[in-house]
Amino acid sequence: ESSQTNKKRRLQHSSNADSPLPNIHRPSPEEGEVYHLLCGAHGTPQYSSTASTTPNVPEGLISTILSQSTSGSNSSRAKASLDAAFGRNNFAAIATASPERLMEAIRCGELAKKKPAIIQNLLSNIYAKHGSYSLQFLAADGEGARKTDAE
């Protein structure tokens, strides 16, 4: 065998023995086993919705904007704060609010000075183009058909 083949085998063996994430120690194999046992007994945990699972299209877009350049927990807090300040899916109130009020509502997320303008621009464009804040025609059901606003 060539020295190149031997070198490749040594590298392959050493990489097989090492974890790709050597500094990450959790979850341990034991913790993973406990998680799977608990899921088997109680079902898989239900996590909060993400933009891809949000049934309302503009709400999903706003959640996506709020998630940019921040952690999931900060993004969720910003969305909850936005809902508390304006009401969930009260797009007209969000679109017509002062940028300062909107900025205060989402301050716990990153880029709170830039995101209000992005969100308000999105909502004003939706309204200008469709006459309402609905984009439900973009949401597809399991069969791939487009939903209507009535659905």
- Copy the structure tokens of residue 146: 């487009």
Q: What is the CATH number of the domain that holds 109?
A: 1.10.340.30
Is 125 domain-assigned? yes
Instruction: Check whether residue 11 and residue 73 sit in a common domain.
Output: no
Residue 146: phi, psi to the nearest 5? -85, 140
For the entire predicted model, the pTM comes to 0.59
pLDDT of residue 46: 74
Q: What is the pLDDT along the chain (151 residues), one digit of tens a residue?
A: 677 777 777 766 555 555 666 677 778 888 889 988 999 999 888 765 555 555 688 999 999 999 988 888 899 999 999 999 999 999 999 999 999 999 999 998 888 899 999 999 999 999 999 999 988 877 755 555 555 554 4
- In the numeric block, the tokens 């706003």 are attached to 62
Domain count, the chain: 2
DSSP E strand stretches across the chain? none
- Copy the structure tokens of residue 125: 């464009």
Instruction: Check whether residue 25 and residue 62 sit in a common domain.
Output: no
The residues, any chain, with a CB within 8 Å of residue 75's CB and separated by 6 or more, are 63, 66, 67, 109
pLDDT of residue 28: 82
Instruction: Check whether residue 106 and residue 134 sit in a common domain.
Output: yes
Best CA proximity match to 57, nearest among 111, 109, 123: 123
Is 106 domain-assigned? yes
pLDDT of residue 52: 52
